[in-house]
Structure 1
């Protein structure tokens, strides 16, 4: 199933088309329609009616079946006539930009799974074709290709399948999957449900955007030193849900000073917030290496915001946005007047590298606690009431 990819793909597939066992289908999907459904689930649903064997297995372009993979799974069904679905142990190889293997781990297959969602890769599964009719009768489709399942379509299908049958294990490595820095799994790993203000982000077209107040703004080369090595790569369905705004002259959440002006400012909400003194500069974990020099006229044109100060009383008043705090042994991110709980994995994903600022709930009592920035998988699993390993 070719989702209207490119001529190179067609050239590779072409040499196999003389084999009567191989059927090639090109979706010729229009680019405007790519984000209307979860595309891989849509293509699987289109492919399944063509299957006329007793068993169904899935294979994607980053995975290699071992020679005995299919025969061992069919053998498992032969020895267990009651079995409806089986899964095997999988080797996962992490690959760098040069195609070199840098690490690996295994997804084991020890136990019978009554909740296979988020535990089994779909390239490690084989199931009876007869299950499909039961699933379609109950749910109206095989795989759920709603866009909200763009990063976990297989898990939704496993949850459907588990309503009818458990997954039996084969604890042998029967396939190997290769994960590059641009692999789908790496791209969505540790992403929260919403993008974080002040982030530099990019999709598959490699264009860099600055995310601010729910809008992604194109970023010019002028700010290349800021987004180099700190741009978050995200899948297109995740990125394209946000509208494109105008190019920003000066991004928010950066330190600036004028060419002939000693004062240091923090840009927030399009305003310049003067950092009152060295005490405030150090307390809020600012670094001099992050200061960007801009033109004097450009600096003067920015409206004045509230100064950034540090009260020696301990009370935190008008803190700068997009700064990490450590409150009661938990990390919080301050954004737009709200403290958001945040997980360490998300902190690293979004390059929030500075040391968290120590505080207590008493210090920040005047500010509300908002929606957490937790990895989206955590929230999905919680909603589905599925326990992940």
Structure 2
């Protein structure tokens, strides 16, 4: 059974639009299922994690990343006695707001939207699940439970100061208590995101040949992982050796989170989920030692992968795709698909129009953005550029 500080679906704060609950699924299971069936979730299949979607079948996409995050999150939740269904729902939905081309696309949209309130992918995820998914007869969005929405809004910690406009707009009608910490389940989803990308970005960087196995073996934590593999399996095949070492690296991160969370929980001794929200600090996190080691690994990835010349070259090209599409639709909103035109007709002023165009462009997959750019503007990525 769950720990006393876990989120109990029987004590949910409910949904903005009241619904008759399922007779065989908890509210959090139902949230998870609605997220999986959402159009925005399917589109993650063709959205960038690090490498542009068409650059290789083996590189992670936002969809495979989200699935890996959910798997890590369920494991940690189970070990800590938390509600795995809520954790999984937040984990699966946490990247729904990402535009095409990953953080590159986000940076471009943020710049373009600066005169109209800006762009924030976490706030956009809230906008998607509360407004843009329009499939149900009784409401816009997915009408998720309060706890799932809270987790999406503040899984990275309290949201204070000036709120992103999309989040502020929703907060006016549904108080998610943004100035407090989220449930332990949402905190687990956040740290699972860190575990997953630190692990799989090393995999993808190796496959793209942006750095070597020998270079990885000199990094903290990984040096011990490779040494253990070499001791247990002398002469192991090159590919198996690095896979075994990265598998152990993955395990170190998960075990560290679980062990440190248990220390924090023993210190705080929360007796309810409200005690977790009011603890005044993050409970689910890496230990200081592992956090320091990961900073060195992240610095390595930043220099050798995220800012690799081949990656930067593509980023420059796809940034231009977003910079071209947004003003083109602003100037020609009649080019938006039929289902968007009613919103355009009802838009009051330039800011509302910009936010509609932003919703449309942000929802594009990598391939659709490239196709639309070629169709509408007659240009495409350099076909002679060698793939990574």
Category of TM-score, reference length = shorter chain: under 0.3
Higher strand share: 1
Q: Who wins on radius of gyration, i.e. which is larger?
A: 1
Bigger relative contact order (CA 8 A; separation at least 6): 2
TM-score normalised to structure 2 length: 0.22
